[in-house]
A and B are shown apart, each in its own frame.
Chain A
């Protein structure tokens, strides 16, 4: 018998029943509930008079629209306040544990799930948010769903789904100095395209993945959806287990030993068959920057804005030109000649302590360029507290950054943290779509180090130049 993929093992272990035609009813172990995608799901329960099957399988927190400064004042009125109130009310009525915005466990769903040990290997985890693939770093099947599916999970603890095809992405080689996992995932998306992963569950393997920390693996899996795939995952190793040991919701005592023994099997077999394979040598990468309005429109920071006239396919040429028009960029411009107005460090992609350390290491002893405004938004209250204990907040503040409370903030532009029309931002977030960070705002995606470098010089900058003169 041929070996099995990690995805196949977890999937098969969650089949409640199979239907004629190829769908499976799969059991959902964990569901993260946030304020933006849940109101209509709870309304569907109300409408049909349904109950929540297992309240303890859900964990709720408001992250998308919460303000990141003057939170207690700002949350009293307005649409965001009403949405949080609705979440609080729904959680009370359906007895779902809710983390208040002033709780030290508060934060972005995809940051706190792993921090609390709610995310566990071998499980299925969903959330009404496409970046749920982040949790796949722990060897689980985690994916984003719509509000109707959220209602289904609340009521039945299952989803009717079709098993995905599998893609193996092999990342090998050592990361050069100044190059991070963010550069790897951006380069991968540029290589396979924003639709390259559609229909596949992606498993990341290879020496470069093994060398990554758990936080870096989360960044890698997080942006899998930007390649079109709902699911990205990494097998369990000693780093996974070390990260989870002692977390509030991690198994304890004999359960811990049994869990660790079971988790040891959570990797693809040597002879597992994948439907598609891709490989990337990360040792050859330079820091990456997006220049357009989809994450696949990215190049090395040493590169130039592409020329649509060199593109033979008319659809692609139109797409390139449209992106250039929106971004107000001209073909042939050197990436390093592009000036910026704002810097955003944070998000479920790059709002963890290692990301903040990495940015702070560039900022130490330096200051933000005149005319540039910069904010850093930790991904969780715990991240913020840890950063303050290390003095990172002092480094950011001394450099001229604003130091904020946790939330999604300028990644999704649902609170007051937005770009103004025409403003250009060096951002550690995950999407450079039109209007994503504010109407008419222009987003360049990059790593935390690269965003810090851009803050210092006021233009897109090869962070390696700053490393060499430290």
Chain B
């Protein structure tokens, strides 16, 4: 499915003021048995929400419509499960603002149209205040800044390629296959000469594909 393109949008930001929110809290492992990536938003923060009448921030007015999540340090630490991003995206979250991120989560965000923003302490305090006051925040990706309701403008940084990927909804695999195939083939030829023992692989186990 093509990724949703991002440029500038304005939304409330849901405050989740906690450090080290891990991938098991964001998306408990037992739901990883689900084979699809669509519709997984209902399992986000499952143990914190506990069904109807949940007072979890993303279920509470007015934050139930928030497209921005503001949280502490090391958000998304732990597992590589991309469901941790799919579940947020499925809930409508398009931007997560934190003091730092778990690395695999951070990289998974860009593959799914979610913008992770790292801010310093002063900027975080201003954004947290805006989130707590339920004020609108504008995420301006083209100009790499946030704009708060009180006029404060906060710059963030993003690698140009990742910015382009979010803005254009790039198909990275397709780009590699069209632009870099000759380089990949050349690398494989060199590898066969330099480290021939790596070329052979799992076929030597004489397993049959797909028999259980």
A positions within 8 Å CB-CB of B: 16-17, 19, 21-23, 25, 27, 29-30, 36-37, 39-40, 43-44, 47-48, 50, 53-59, 62, 64-65, 79-80, 82-86, 88-103, 105, 116, 118, 120, 122-123, 128-130, 132, 144-149, 151-152, 155-158, 160, 162, 194-195, 198-199, 225, 228-230, 248-249, 251, 255-256, 258-259, 262, 294, 315-316, 318-319, 322, 412-414, 431, 433-436, 439-440
Contacts and interface: CB of A to CB of B under 8 A. Distances in A.
B102 A228 contact: yes
B207 interface: yes
A318 B18 CA distance: 8
A59 B206 CA distance: 11
A71 to B, nearest CB: 11
Given A88-B211, A318-B18, 5 more contacts: A230-B104, A249-B201, A316-B19, A319-B20, A413-B29
Contacts of B61: none
Interface stretch (B7-15, B142-150, B177-185): B177-185
Contact of A37 (B81, B201, B202, B210): B81
Interface string B18-57: 1110101100111011111100000000010000000000
B87 interface: no
Contacts of A65: 32-33
A228 B103 contact: yes
A223 to B, nearest CB: 12
Interface of B: 1, 18-20, 22, 24-25, 28-30, 32-37, 47, 72-74, 77-82, 85, 100-104, 107-108, 111-112, 159-161, 171-174, 176-177, 180, 183-184, 187-188, 191, 195-198, 200-205, 207-212
A436 B24 CA distance: 6
Contact of B111 (A149, A249, A431): A149
A50 B18 CA distance: 41
Given A147-B82, A436-B24, A27 B205 contact: no
Please give me the 7 A-B residue pairs with the lowest Cβ-Cβ distance, nearest first. A92-B210, A251-B197, A56-B201, A148-B111, A79-B33, A146-B82, A144-B80
Contact of B107 (A17, A62, A80, A146): A146
B209 A91 contact: yes
Given A59-B205, A97-B205, A412-B29, A194 B74 contact: yes
Q: Which of B33, B187, B211 has the most CB of A within 10 A?
A: B33
B104 A156 contact: no
B161 A118 contact: no
B210 A88 contact: yes
Contacts of A433: 22, 24-25, 78
Contacts of B183: 16-17, 25
Given A48-B174, A146-B80, A120 B202 contact: no
A258 B197 contact: yes
Contacts of A103: 207
A57 B202 contact: yes
9 contacts: A29-B198, A48-B173, A62-B212, A83-B35, A145-B80, A152-B172, A160-B172, A259-B197, A262-B195
Given A122-B195, A147-B82, A156-B176, A195 B47 contact: no
Given A144-B104, A256-B197, A322-B18, A59 B79 contact: no
A80 B35 CA distance: 10
B24 A195 contact: no
A386 to B, nearest CB: 19
Contact of B100 (A43, A83, A198): A198
B209 A92 contact: yes
A147 B85 CA distance: 11
A182 to B, nearest CB: 18
Contacts of A82: 33, 35
A377 to B, nearest CB: 16
A249 B210 contact: no
Nearest to A161: B107
Contacts of B35: 39-40, 82-83, 86
A16 B197 contact: no
B138 to A, nearest CB: 26
Given A86-B35, A91-B209, A130-B80, A198 B184 contact: no
Contacts of A99: 205, 207
Contacts of A39: 35
A230 B78 CA distance: 10
Nearest to B176: A156
A30 B25 CA distance: 30
B202 A249 contact: yes
Nearest to A33: B202
Contacts of A21: 159-161
Q: Which of B28, B80, B85, B107 has the most CB of A within 10 A?
A: B80
A67 to B, nearest CB: 13
Given A157-B184, A258-B196, A152 B173 contact: yes
B24 to A, nearest CB: 4
A101 B207 CA distance: 12
A415 to B, nearest CB: 9
A128 B209 contact: no
A98 B210 CA distance: 6
Nearest to B210: A92
Contacts of A100: 211-212
Q: Which of B19, B102, B210 has the most CB of A within 10 A?
A: B210
Contacts of A195: 20, 73-74, 77, 100
Contact of A27 (B47, B72, B107, B187): B187
